[in-house]
Structure 1
Amino acid sequence: MSAERTFATTSTAAQSLISIGVPFIGAVAGARRERSLYKLALGYALGMATLGLIASLLVAALVPSTAADPWKHAPAIIIGAFITQVVAQSLGTGFGLLIGRPVIASILTIVPPLAVYFLLAAVAPGAKGLAPYGSAQLWWKGEFSGSDVLLFVVMVAVWGVGLNLWGTSAARSRQA
């Protein structure tokens, strides 16, 4: 299996690990509602995506592979690394704003998105991209295509934008 190592396999592993912690920083930023923390959380997400990509590039370049094209889909994988970590961070800020407690918000960045992913995988496998993890898998493996754009836009609208708007409204209500 290691002889078949590609940029896609190494990137999937690296970005998956990174995407566990990135939303936690967003959850803290959202719960504290400090604009400077939002910028810090976004910078953290982009920085971690970069580190994951560098590690993936090094492994793919230095470990011998018998794969026919170990660099297949590299542009989509690189773009996807940044996009998915920003979505992960916004998921954290959304739950942080909504709940107002960083620890609970951090747990919620894992449980509901994965529950939706597994539910969709069982009921409607073609719609797994509506969950952040399902969409990320498409990017990290370089399998994201034109037919996935609509699912991706809906996923970002719900988990990124919608959750942050709901959280902002809830935070304002708590403050009033």
Structure 2
Amino acid sequence: MTDPGTPNTLGTSTSFGESALDAFRRSVGTRARRFLIAVTLLLGLLAAAGLALVGPPGDRTFANLSGPAQSLMSVIVPAFGVLLARDLKPASRSTRLAPTLLAAALLAAAVGLFGLLACVAALTMTTSSAQDPWRHAGTIAVGGVLVQVVAQLVGTGLGLLMRRPTVAFITTIVLPLGLWFLLGAVDVLRPAQALTPYSTVRHLLSGQMNPLNWVQWLAVLLIWGVGLNALGWARLRHRNHDGRPAPAHGEPSPSPSR
């Protein structure tokens, strides 16, 4: 995954808000990134519209549209987190992670909201014979945003942990799904599937959330969102303190990820 022309506008004296705004701008600041966001949104729109138009009227529910649409977008969303993490790698030692994570979460939330609007429009403009097509709509709407935020934080975490953006992006797909399948293949480990992102995605996008499911989602956020980013940030800081001087602002980075 290459992204030529990535703007390097990381400063050391800006406020938290300015840093977050700068990171948000960088998230879609190149032609390649804008193309990627367009593809992401288009996939969600096509999934929602296609299922609404082609699927049986009895299956046209908000849950049945939101599941595939949000899931498809969540496959690509981590790429933005990976690229934002790459932007941090050549930064000076005083760079803060929190503004970048906030910007990443806001971008992911915007994608989730777009998916919500696409599904609402698709269901509204078609005829459904389902008994209650809008069942759990509120929970699913919130769930769509939460799914994208967790997916994005997995991207930033693995982007910080791995030097090569392409490998990091592939890992955002292979690691969560692979772990889910492996845990499900062993009876004694099957309960641990609840601590994988895919398991919580299924609950959130079906709207069938109970108190235990919300606790499981919080655990997933802590492990895959907070945990991965904490490890990645510690690794980045260690590399910046291992005796090699951090590149000056505006200088090219020696990192092989560029």
TM-score with structure 1 length normalisation?
A: 0.91
Instruction: State the shift of 1:44 in Å.
Output: 2.1
Q: 1:159 aligns with which of 219, 224, 241?
A: 224
The letter for the 1-side match of 2:56 is S
Match in the other structure for 1:133: 198
Does residue 50 (structure 1) correspond to residue 104 (structure 2)? The answer is: no
Q: 2:82 aligns with which of 21, 24, 27?
A: 27
The letter for the 2-side match of 1:73 is H
Q: 2:129 aligns with which of 66, 80, 84?
A: 66
- Deviation string, structure 1 residues 26-64 (Cα, Å, up to 9, x no partner): 011112217665444323211111111111111122221
- Tell whether the 8 Å contact from 1:30 to 1:38 is kept in structure 2 after alignment: no
The alignment-based identity, stated in percent, is 38
**Structure 2: gaps (5+ residues):** 1-54, 92-96, 242-258
Match in the other structure for 1:144: 209
Instruction: State the shift of 1:127 in Å.
Output: 4.0
Match in the other structure for 2:239: 174
Q: 3-state SS of the aligned residue for 2:207?
A: coil
**Residues 122 and 61 of structure 1: CA distance in aligned 2, closer, same or farther (over 3 Å):** farther
Aligned equivalents of 2:219 and 2:103: distance in 1? 26
Match in the other structure for 2:68: 13
**Residues 66 and 127 of structure 1: CA distance in aligned 2, closer, same or farther (over 3 Å):** farther
Q: 3-state SS of the aligned residue for 1:167?
A: helix
Q: 3-state SS of the aligned residue for 1:65?
A: coil
Q: Cα RMSD over matched residues?
A: 1.8
Aligned equivalents of 2:106 and 2:75: distance in 1? 16
Aligned equivalents of 2:218 and 2:112: distance in 1? 20
The letter for the 2-side match of 1:120 is L
- Tell whether the 8 Å contact from 2:101 to 2:153 is kept in structure 1 after alignment: no
Q: Which has the larger radius of gyration?
A: 2
- Deviation string, structure 1 residues 76-131 (Cα, Å, up to 9, x no partner): 10111111111011000000111132211111111110111112333355543311
Aligned equivalents of 2:225 and 2:101: distance in 1? 14
Q: 4+ residue runs of structure 1 moved beyond 6 angstroms? A: none
Q: Comparing 25-34 with 4-13, which one deviates more in the overlay?
A: 25-34
